[in-house]
Amino acid sequence: DQGYFYNMVAEVEVFMSPEELLKGLLDIERQMGRKREEKWGPRNIDLDILFYDDLVIKSESLTVPHPDLENRIFVLLPLFEIAPDFRHPVTGKSVARMLSELLKKKGIDILTIQSGASIMGSIT
């Protein structure tokens, strides 16, 4: 059981390998007091690499694209805000399409009110 938290997505330009980036993110988590004692346990920070350009990586320590990306509205929604046309390098689906498919699967509709504004509501 966890308290409330913010979900954010950032697009960054780095001059390091994906493995070096992961090491840096884990260092930030440690410096902020993150303890990785249980898989889904409480955390004060959680930094993930969703994509790294169009690379596909599957190693012992890193999987890119993030394996649960397509099933997480809390990731796809902010990602859609900054990169709706970015394509998943394995599936070829755009972020907009992944979000649309997941919302439909969950029974959620987004109603556009005006350019740049939307209201989310459940379909009954």
Name the residues annotated as catalytic.
34, 43, 46, 48
State both tokens at 68. 């649960």
CA geometry: angle 26, 28, 30, nearest 5 deg: 70
DSSP state of 123: -
CA separation for the pair 92, 97 (Å, rounded): 10
Pairing of strands 117-122, 108-114: antiparallel
